[in-house]
A and B are shown apart, each in its own frame.
Chain A
């Protein structure tokens, strides 16, 4: 009995200590912080100063065309001839206007261009001009640019039970037996009948929670699953406790390994659901700005499927930048396909979303150029 008290005291002491340490160690969640960088407008004088300070583009010549050797002695130059009047043709296509009249003077040695191409970086792209479109510091509150909107406020988690317990039936009495508080039995699993959610009719203009079955309060489980009874054999109980400790230790090690493997554990959130018509509305808003003319000329263009992600506000405004998802770092033809897809999202500007749409939803768009080509003739 005394040993049990000592053990209990030590255990509680360790727990208290751990709780205290836990409060100290728990770091702040980095994602809750928003770093806002002030963007300032340049005055004309500042701009002039920048201009005067900008370095002159160097005249670096890394490729110069060699002048040809003018040895044409062995060649009989053709006589100058005048092009005859063109024969009338029945070709309907009118030739485009030429930039200049052709050189009809004589057969001349081709003038060698003296072109030097500078392929280094002659201009400092670092000093990019100020982007006037994102300088919207004058607005405040909810009407400010979505670029500077605060993150959405987390919604309160729904309570499991918000109503009073029903009154005891007549004649019932409360048991005087004391039952220790226990954790639910993890081994016990509750079988939930699988149900199929029905899509809301498209005429609904706002999101309505799915209909819940009309369950009377008395249908709730009367009490939690009872824990296994405490064994009367103390030695056996100690062995059981040791077994539980070993299992807990193993679980803790597994959890720690998992936490180390995943640097930022992700808390799963339920996916947003929309009706077919609402999804089609988003598709049309983006696809009508998706120009595939360059992509369609690519070799194996049907393989250039792009998936990108963008965060949208509740009003459909795009928050932040578009980011590639698959491929994560598009290169080559995929980079061209990604540019076209990203441009279609940016041109759309506002994604049509239904009323009551959650704030800050991450929209994942998959662009397949081989599907449904509109405007192709």
Chain B
């Protein structure tokens, strides 16, 4: 019997073995592994046929919207528009099948198709973005509507959506720049606050030129502006609402206030106050007006900037004998020096991403705009000029604006923009001289 059990056991084993062979077997193809190295760094070619005007009332505005979207994308330096003369096929209907072979033949990697209609005092813009080589849409189609006079904002929003889908980052086109507009000769320059779109369009002045204004800064909600004015003869910090132009002055400060900035939560400001020859950093609660001193000592501590999470502050100080960058807790205390190379550092600004700090560096008689990691490592100088100063971050942390002063007897400031890789340096158009730019967040 025991022998029979063994036989049964053996038979069971055979059954299991054979049943395992009966399982599905997939033959894997021969494989070949290749390391791809090199690559190219050049603008990505895209095509944007004119947005289709779905009624006669939108014919002119459709063309303008197409141009603003294209110009927004081109301004990044990441994209290159394929001229319309090279287009093989056009798009006459928003829902028409895309002839991918035609767009592929001219090496268009992305295709933006859109349509515009204007009915009942409402402007409607819709678009689709196509990956030509994958022959697939990149995300769903999007439709935006608004009043016809806001066609620029609608265009910027479309461009932001296209940019976001192509780069994986949020855009920055639907944003504002506040800056100091300067007019007149070099020895008698008039200054006033102005605000404009990121591309220089839609310029509006916020103050007159009766007094000198300095260093405007946007609030996180992009509706308020902090700035310094010599309206009363001494520098004072003002808070202005850009919608109502109502102002509030911080007149209870013990000395002269400079370089104010908002905290990320919009509830307080940080600034430097100069009192009896000593400059230190303070915070002021916007509700209660309570003032908190963060630094002390005989050194000059100024140009504070919050980290995006509000937990730390980067600032410049000469406490070590030369002008360097330091980081401390948002509640004050010990500061850690993060800049160590030759030269002087000024106007540090924390990136909205939180990974980099932009700064002005003065070395060898020249000014530079640069970035470094928050621990001071991997410093990169992006520009070099007679004077480059006061960087400000785009809402997505990808681009910096600053102002550059030309040399010579007639030297004057102009606003420039540069990518954090150091490429795509270009001047931002303004109707007059311009300095101290500050970039808002993305508008809501």
Contact = CB atoms under 8 A, between A and B. Distances in A.
B200 interface: yes
Chain A at the B interface: mostly helix, strand, loop or mixed? loop
B278 interface: no
Given A18-B14, A123-B128, A115 B247 contact: no
Interface stretch (B24-32, B288-296, B314-322, B334-342): B24-32
B186 interface: yes
A283 B208 contact: no
Interface in B174-222: 183-186, 192, 195-196, 199-210
Nearest to B210: A78
B39 A264 contact: no
Nearest to B197: A99
B3 interface: yes
Residue among A96, A130, A269 with the highest chain B CB neighbour number at 10 A = A96
Contacts of A242: 6
Given A90-B406, A252-B13, A57 B99 contact: no
Given A118-B142, A372-B37, A29 B203 contact: no
Contacts of B427: 91, 93-96
A107 B145 contact: no
Given A122-B141, A347-B133, A361 B419 contact: no
Contacts of B208: 76-79, 81, 107
Given A95-B427, A252-B20, A131 B135 contact: yes
Q: Which of B98, B101, B143, B407 has the most CB of A within 10 A?
A: B143
Contact of A279 (B17, B34, B184): B34
Interface of B: 3, 6-7, 9-44, 67-68, 71, 78, 93, 95-101, 104, 107, 109, 122, 124, 126, 128, 131, 133-137, 140-147, 149-150, 152-154, 157, 166-168, 183-186, 192, 195-196, 199-210, 242-247, 353, 355, 398, 404, 406-408, 410-412, 414, 416, 419-421, 425-433, 443-444
Given A65-B444, A256-B19, A272 B14 contact: no
Interface string A282-296: 111011101111101
Nearest to A370: B37
A323 interface: no
Given A123-B128, A133-B101, A245-B13, A266 B26 contact: yes
Interface string A62-79: 010100111110111111
B168 A269 contact: no
Nearest to B243: A68
A61 B122 CA distance: 12
Interface in A109-161: 109-119, 121-123, 125, 128-134, 154
B29 A362 contact: yes
B89 to A, nearest CB: 11
24 contacts: A31-B27, A51-B93, A74-B247, A110-B204, A115-B144, A131-B135, A133-B100, A249-B13, A255-B17, A264-B24, A264-B25, A270-B30, A272-B31, A286-B36, A287-B40, A291-B42, A293-B43, A294-B166, A335-B168, A361-B30, A362-B29, A363-B34, A364-B32, A364-B34
A184 interface: no
B7 A70 contact: no
A181 interface: no
Given A68-B244, A248-B14, A297 B421 contact: yes
Nearest to B242: A110
Given A87-B410, A255-B16, A290 B429 contact: no
A170 interface: no
B133 A290 contact: no
A265 interface: yes
A112 B223 CA distance: 11
A113 B443 contact: yes
B426 A114 contact: no
A132 B244 contact: no
Contacts of A78: 192, 205, 207-210
A62 B282 CA distance: 40
Contacts of A207: none
B426 to A, nearest CB: 7
Contact of B41 (A69, A248, A293): A293
Contacts of A76: 208
Given A99-B71, A336-B167, A371 B141 contact: no
A253 B15 CA distance: 10
A369 B38 CA distance: 8
A297 B245 contact: no
A238 B410 contact: no
Given A116-B144, A282-B34, 7 more contacts: A87-B412, A87-B433, A103-B204, A110-B195, A123-B140, A154-B27, A341-B36
A118 B204 contact: no
The range of chain A's interface size is 35 or more
A91 B385 CA distance: 10
A58 B128 CA distance: 15
B291 to A, nearest CB: 25
A112 to B, nearest CB: 7
Given A51-B93, A57-B126, A269 B244 contact: no
Contact of A99 (B15, B67, B143, B210): B67
B433 to A, nearest CB: 7
A25 interface: yes
Nearest to A247: B13
Given A99-B201, A103-B202, A267 B144 contact: no
A47 B244 contact: no
Nearest to B240: A75
Given A78-B209, A133-B101, A241 B142 contact: no
Interface stretch (A6-14, A198-206, A218-226): A6-14
A362 B428 CA distance: 49
Contact of A102 (B26, B126, B203, B210): B203
Contacts of B14: 14-15, 18, 248, 252
Given A25-B19, A339-B131, A69 B36 contact: no
B419 A297 contact: yes
A125 to B, nearest CB: 6
B144 A271 contact: no
A122 B59 CA distance: 23
Contacts of B78: 293-294, 297
Interface in A195-238: 238
A99 B420 contact: no
Given A98-B201, A249-B16, A269-B28, A368 B36 contact: yes
Nearest to B208: A78
Interface string A356-370: 001011111111110
B399 to A, nearest CB: 10
A88 to B, nearest CB: 5
A267 B27 contact: yes
B36 A290 contact: yes
A123 B98 CA distance: 16
A373 B38 contact: yes
A277 B134 CA distance: 29
Interface in A322-344: 332-333, 335-336, 339, 341-344
A174 interface: no
A92 to B, nearest CB: 9
B32 A104 contact: no
Contacts of A87: 185-186, 410, 412, 433
A284 B40 CA distance: 11
Contacts of B185: 87
